[in-house]
Amino acid sequence: MEQTPDPKQTPDRPLTVEILDGGSWARVCEYRLLRPGRGVALLVGSEQVAAFRDRRGALYAVGNRDPFSGAYVISRGLLGSRDGVPVVFSPMYKQAFDLRTGVCLDEELAPDGTPAVLPVLPIRAVPTP
């Protein structure tokens, strides 16, 4: 799920990134620590999550487990786009996943026969309390 914060973050108005964990928002990091074009692995509750900030400032959060390799590496993937769709390319076998839906754009099924889809989590940036 994409969320674009107000780009007018200033030192006197910092932003905090939150991810929806069950029924409540969990603070995970400062917005400035998410480098554009790079991912970060986060532990939200008991789940590993890959969070990204694109060059426009939009935020995305997906499951960190690659359904093709089983490794928790999606946060190390490359951000890009395919036909205008924001994607992360898995660092293992290079499949592209739509960051808005989690769907793999290259293959419908993972090797174990399950759908090749990353879980998508709501993410937002809010003024730091």
Judged against a pLDDT cut of 90, whether residue 12 lies above it is answered with no
- Residue 13 pLDDT: 77
Cα 90 from Cα 93, distance rounded (Å): 6
- Residue 36 pLDDT: 94
Judged against a pLDDT cut of 60, whether residue 6 lies above it is answered with no
Nearest CA-CA partner of 122 in 40, 33, 28, 3: 3
Cα 72 from Cα 60, distance rounded (Å): 17
pTM: 0.90
pLDDT grade, residue 10 (50/70/90)? Answer: low
